[in-house]
Amino acid sequence: MKVNTKGSSEDLISKCSSCEYCIYEDILRPEQRKINVLDLNIPENHVHRITIEQLCGRHYDEVCHMKYAAMRAFCDNRTAIQLGVVKNYVWDLGKKHKKKVDFNLALTNWAKSQELGRGMEESYAKRFDEIWKRGLRAINNIGTTKEKQILTADYIYEIVMAKPQTYENALALLDLLITEHKERDAI
């Protein structure tokens, strides 16, 4: 495991050596990356491993202490998935502008209201919320009903960034899927 002790009295977990970029270095505060967080229990409400892997986007099969720290840092999958979707936005902006884009700057732009082609002011964050809600399903498991997100971070990103007509079609499709889910009495 690689650690960074620059200006810190405790070791900080860093990205895997095989990764060029790690979203967790951008979104975890230094105290959430201290090596001793790995001694903590995973909280009952935490980001699930599947979500952690979606956000990472690389080297799924490698042991990564940063992922273990992230499981102890977040409170819910929705927040984590949106940050992972913004990571994809950072990569796209970097390609578009041919330079590294700051995560926090991209996050600010993500939440900024603007005209995205549907004739109204909206933000990518608002679009994310619309898609997120349509992807939630009530799942009954051994007498307990929980909400589960059926959409992946990459799929949500593709819809959020879609051209207006494609976006509207995606919303209509997701609404039909909700109806069919209810008709099957899937909960």
Q: Where are the domains of the chain?
A: 1-75, 77-187
Q: Half-sphere exposure (CA, 13 Å, Cβ side) for 112?
A: 8
**What is the percent of the chain with per-residue pLDDT over 70, rounded to a whole number?**
89
- Summarised one tens digit per residue, pLDDT across range 135-158 is 999 877 778 888 889 999 999 999
User: What is the chain's Cα-based Rg?
Assistant: 18
CA–CA separation, 84 and 134 (whole Å): 18
pLDDT reported for residue 164 = 96
Rank 52-61, 71-80, 122-131 by mean pLDDT and report only the highest: 122-131
Least confident stretch, 37-41, 75-79, 104-108, 174-178: 75-79
Q: Which amino acid is at 77?
A: N
Instruction: Using DSSP bridges, classify how beta strands 144-149 and 121-122 pair: parallel, antiparallel or unpaired.
Output: unpaired
Q: What is the pTM of this model?
A: 0.78
pLDDT reported for residue 58 = 66
Contact by Cβ (8 Å): 61, 41: no
- Summarised one tens digit per residue, pLDDT across range 162-180 is 999 999 999 999 999 999 9
CA–CA separation, 12 and 36 (whole Å): 9
Contact by Cβ (8 Å): 49, 56: no
Kindly give the interhelix angle for 49-56 and 153-160, rounded to the nearest 10 degrees. 50
**What is the percent of the chain with per-residue pLDDT over 90, rounded to a whole number?**
47
CA–CA separation, 112 and 130 (whole Å): 16
- Which strand (E) or helix (H) includes residue 136? strand 136-141
Would you place residue 57 in the very low, low, confident or very high pLDDT band (cuts 50, 70, 90)? Answer: low
Contact by Cβ (8 Å): 24, 52: no
Name the residue among 98, 107, 159 with its Cα closest to residue 134: 159
CA–CA separation, 150 and 95 (whole Å): 29
